[in-house]
Structure 1
Amino acid sequence: MAPAASEEKNPVPNLTPQFLYGVKKGVNGGLNFLGDNLLMYPAGSGIAKVSTERYSQEIISLANKGKEITAVALNPTRKLIAFSEYGERPLVIIYDVELERKRKILRCPELKSFEIISLAFSHDSKYLLAQENK
């Protein structure tokens, strides 16, 4: 059966956000400079990377749609970002800034809380500390 003429003329547009404004309050470590012209902050249900040089913004999405960010950490070399998601089993996402991709998603079944309230990288970035809210 052929689609109706009205369906062909009015396709559903695919909308993608161009800019998210506002910094989400209550996020530990929420605002970071990745370089002289690159700013990172939680916005909506993702992380916004804003270039002040090119006047552009990129959104790093969470692993689970609709969740919220509770903590953010930047490693000492400013090449890795770690951020945590609120949820029954909170998780931590490690994002590589240079390669622009998620490097690792960490899950910890021992956590008894719904949120991780603080994240911190070690001085050599070999370890990541996550503190839960009890």
Structure 2
Amino acid sequence: MVKFEDTALDRTFAALADPTRRALLVRLSAGEHLSVSDLAEPFAMSLPAVMKHLDVLADAGLITRNKTGRTVACRLSAAPMEQAMAWLQRYQQFWSEALDQLAAYVEEPACPPAPVSRSSDTSPPPRKKSSARGPIRSKS
């Protein structure tokens, strides 16, 4: 079995793959510091489930947590996303060229349709159907 190295980029993409974690990041991007209970409020899941999502985000370096007394506040950390964007930009040129070629192909004028003959005088009359079947052979 091949075992790949667990890099920061892998952890970033794995963390961003989940829609709940992306929603948590969106909420954090709107505010400076939010407590874990404030982050968990709109989600229909238990606080421990939200804490597991926050653990994945923290392991990927996408959030930082600060504990003040009994309150844990979370803050967005964009550095790993910048690294992921840098990785994606390497492929942007390839995809841009491929999409430009596709757009050029789609925008090409279509072949002109073949002219339609409107004259019924030149068309041959319809063929008659054949008559009844021939004699049936007997099996011997």
Report if TM-score (shorter chain) is over 0.5.
no
Larger Rg: 2
| TM-score, normalization by structure 1 | 0.20
Greater fraction of residues in helix: 2
| TM-score, normalization by structure 2 | 0.20
Structure with the greater relative contact order (CA < 8 A, sep ≥ 6): 1 or 2? 2
